[in-house]
Amino acid sequence: MTLRVGVIGTGAIGKEHIHRITNKLTGARIVAVNDVNAAQAEAAAKGAGVDARVFDSGQELINSPEVDATIVASWGPTHEEFVLASIAAGKPVFCEKPLAVTAEGCRKIVDAEMAHGKRLVQVGFMRRYDRSYRQLKKVLDDEKIGAPLILNCAHRAPAAPGFKGDMAITDSIVHELDVLRWLLNDDYVSAQVILPRKTRLCDADLQDPHVILLRTAQGILINIESFVNAQYGYDIQCHVVGETGTASLPEPADVILRSEAKLSRAILVDWQLRFIDAFDVEFQDWIDCSIRGEAQGPSSWDGYVVSVTTDACVKAKQTGNIEPINIPAIPAFYAG
């Protein structure tokens, strides 16, 4: 069977996914596209060499008998509506983060999916598919460094054009929030946000960097530095201190150069290059699972938990206090 996929939102990442599914992966075909800008949707399909039907609305695309499964890559505030429509249609849906822009919206999706009785939703937390994070998780799961005690993490990007307000938390740190609880098999219980000296190299109204301190149910302390105007490169770090050793996220592989009296290695500057392989693995997995009638990747519940945690981080930034994170017990539907 070839999975017939419709894509809603053909902007930057939607176009990438159309290209990826058409030219790199197997088992799926892009048959439908939709964007508020219909000409852009048509151009995105044609640009990838796809002859797809352009739908006037996301709802029509989801409900079309020509479409087996949907990718939602439109603007964040539209995600909830399109994911709920996919559940109502009983079709698999891959939703780029955020699952919804409020925790209540995520909870509605969780409730709708449980009422439907079968998992249909995968959220685009691609770091879980990154080879280096998977290697680090195996070290932790195999208890090679005993129980984890402290995590020191950094999310640094060269620049963040268009970032305003709390976007460093709501747009980028969400990936840390998902991957770290997956890495630790643990959930967060509190958040604190500390604002260090602000860099001069960003918009005057943007706070950058932030330090986010999270505590988990098992008592692990996580320190995430978020620095989105770091100038020098795109640099994701995760260093775990355990009872009997430490473990660090491997650096992206590159040539180590000894030349001109220097020992050097290039630093990535582009987030897409850092996670390009993870996106491919993530989508191949989604296609394969959808064909088998399963859903295995990051779930609606994961999207909901990240949203609750994000809200607590934003509140902690405003209050300067340690804010509790109240995550309900995971429903049996999503456990395991």
63 interacts with ligand NAP by CB under 6 A: no
Q: Are the C-beta atoms of residues 109 and 301 closer than 8 Å to each other?
A: no
Query: Tokens 């996929």, residue?
Result: 5
Tell the residue number behind the tokens 């779930």, with chain if given: 299
User: Is residue 310 within the footprint of ligand NAP (CB under 6 A)?
Assistant: no
Q: For ligand NAP, which is the closer residue by CB, 70 or 216?
A: 70
Q: What number of residues does the chain have?
A: 336
Q: Is 14 in the site for ligand NAP (CB under 6 A)?
A: yes
Using the minimum distance from each CB to ligand NAP, give the nearer residue, 78 or 102.
78
Which residue is nearest to ligand NAP, using beta carbons? 11
Which of these ranges, 6-14, 138-146, 151-159, 316-324, lies near ligand NAP under the rule CB under 6 A?
6-14
Beta bridge partners of 5: 30, 69
Choose which of 33, 103, 126, 179 interacts with ligand NAP (CB under 6 A): 126
At its nearest, how many Å lie between ligand NAP and the CB of residue 315? 21
- Residue by residue, DSSP assigns 254-286 as ---EEETTEEE------HHHHHHHHHHHHHHHH
Q: Which stretch binds ligand NAP (CB under 6 A): 67-75, 203-211, 240-248, 285-293?
A: 67-75
Contact 312, 191 (CB under 8 A): yes
C-alpha to C-alpha distance for 21 and 289, rounded to whole angstroms: 15
Considering the complex, what minimum distance in angstroms separates the CB of residue 133 from ligand NAP? 13
129 near 122, Cβ under 8 Å? no
* Cα–Cα distance measured from residue 234 to residue 190, given in angstroms and rounded to the nearest whole number: 28
Residue nearer to ligand NAP on the CB measure, 58 or 297: 58
Q: Which of residues 27-56 bind ligand NAP (CB under 6 A)?
A: 34-37, 40
Find the part of the chain contacting ligand NAP (CB under 6 A) among 73-81, 107-115, 158-166, 203-211.
73-81
CB 172 within 8 A of CB 178: no
Helix or strand (DSSP H, E) at 11: none
Q: For ligand NAP, which stretch binds (CB under 6 A), given 9-17, 20-28, 159-167, 223-231?
A: 9-17
Positions touching ligand NAP (CB under 6 A) are 8-14, 34-37, 40, 58, 73-76, 78, 96-97, 124, 126
